[in-house]
Each structure stands twice: as structure tokens, then as C-alpha cells.
């Protein structure tokens, strides 16, 4: 079974198409729970109206699924709390 560190590294390959930063750097990954069936990932999106939600979920499933022993990859989306960029990220994005 992959470790949380391995999973996070694989998720760095998933980039938000509008911002062009990976979802780990953006702080979209809330929780990673490996279990006997596979890996459950709780994540958020930059907006509840994100037009790339299905694409991002598919990419997360694909990247984590490549890891040895990953098993079934399940992605759950939450907006509680809503995504908020860190001060460092705001500076990087020019906000």
C-alpha cells in the first residue's frame, strides 16, 4: 500500500488547468486515507463551480491508481471549509 508521502508526490502531477499549479501546492488535498480497499482522498476545488471538477477527479484517480498497491481510488469532494489560498500562494498568484 502506498504511503501518504507517495500519494502526495503522485498528486503533484495533477495541475489545475486555469492556474497551472499542482493541486498539492494549491492546498486542494484535505485528507488521504489508505484502507484495505484502496485509497480515499478528500479534496476540495478552488470553486464549487469549477468547470474542471470531473477532469481533476479523473486525474487524481489515474495518478494515485498508478502506485503499487493503491487498489480502488475513491475521491470525495468537500467545500467545508471553502478553499482559501494561503498568503504565500496569494503572493505567488499575484493576488
Mean of pLDDT over the chain? 94
Query: Can you give the residue ranges of every domain in the chain?
Result: 4-93
42-51 average pLDDT score:
94
Q: Report how far apart, in Å, the C-alpha atoms of 48 and of each of 58, 80, 88 are.
A: 17, 11, 23
The CATH architecture that domain 4-93 belongs to is: 2-Layer Sandwich (3.30)
Of the ranges 23-27, 34-38, 87-91, the best mean pLDDT one: 23-27
The vertex-82 CA angle with 21 and 4, nearest 5°, equals: 55
DSSP labels, 24-79? TTTT-EEEEEE-SSEEEEEE--S-TT-TTHHHHHHHHHHHHHTSTT--EEEEEE--
Using 50, 70 and 90 to split pLDDT, how confident is the model at 93? confident
Contact 23, 60 (CB under 8 A): yes
Strand order in the sheet with 72-77: 29-34, 38-43, 72-77
Using 50, 70 and 90 to split pLDDT, how confident is the model at 67? very high
Q: Can you give the pTM of this predicted structure?
A: 0.92
Amino acid at each position: 500500500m502506498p504511503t501518504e508521502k507517495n500519494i502526495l508526490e503522485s498528486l503533484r502531477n495533477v495541475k489545475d488547468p486555469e492556474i497551472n499549479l499542482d493541486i498539492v501546492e494549491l492546498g486542494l488535498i484535505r485528507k488521504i486515507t489508505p484502507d484495505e480497499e484502496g485509497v480515499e482522498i478528500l479534496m476540495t476545488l478552488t470553486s464549487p463551480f469549477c468547470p474542471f471538477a470531473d477532469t481533476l477527479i479523473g486525474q487524481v484517480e489515474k495518478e494515485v491508481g498508478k502506485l503499487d498497491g493503491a487498489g480502488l481510488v475513491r475521491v470525495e469532494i468537500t467545500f467545508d471549509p471553502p478553499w482559501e489560498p494561503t498568503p504565500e500562494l496569494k503572493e505567488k498568484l499575484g493576488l
